[in-house]
Amino acid sequence: MTAFKLVVVSAGLSEPSSTRLLADRLTESTVRQLGASGRAVDVTVVELRDLATEVANNFVTGFPGAALREAVRAVTEADALIAVTPIFTASYSGLFKSFFDVIDHDALTGKPVLIAATGGTPRHSLALEHAVRPLFSYLRAVVVPTAVYAATDDWGAAGDRHTDGLPGRIDRAAGELAGLLEGRGPAAPGLPEQVVPFAEQLAALRV
């Protein structure tokens, strides 16, 4: 069985980076959940910090350098993406946006994407919904329902995989991405697996 190609785009600028840490946690959960179904995953990580100069040069010259060209090829050929950006001034970073500006606008059509972000305060969490999600919707990607935001306090907060803390949100989003890759569609917790037709529901009420 052919392994899924998962590309992880991290736009963290520092080293070590909380953005890269979140990307790694999301990747680990996705690989683990796909592995439980017997599916192998080939993971490629694109660190945008290492490509900043080539991204800038590409806008000036119109020609990507070798490393940027390889990163674009990886994203274009991926079966799915995990895209993680720090939040600056209530939006994605300029480097994050510039990288996706380099990619052909049709390259992400129909591609499953998990979006995530990091920031210093929970107040910026909605940037995922008003900035990052519309970006990938414009590129016609299929964005999983759960977007994961990690503020500074989330890393030290107590929580487990059965709560709505950071570990639980990571697993839920990763499960939705795994479901799209396996053709099951995103998970819908709490809904019955089989939908009862409305006519049958009315008939049951008449009994």
- Rounded to two decimals, the pTM is 0.85
pLDDT in tens, 83-130: 999 999 899 999 999 999 999 999 999 999 999 999 988 888 999 999
**Which residue did the predictor score with more confidence, 204 or 179?**
179
pLDDT for the residue numbered 139:
96
Round to whole Å and give the CA distance between 188 and 178. Answer: 13
pLDDT in tens, 45-65: 999 999 999 999 999 999 999
Q: Is the pLDDT of residue 134 over 70?
A: yes
Provide DSSP, 109-170. TT-EEEEEEEESSGGGTTHIIIIIHHHHHHTT-EE-S--EEEEHHHHHS---TTSSSHHHHH
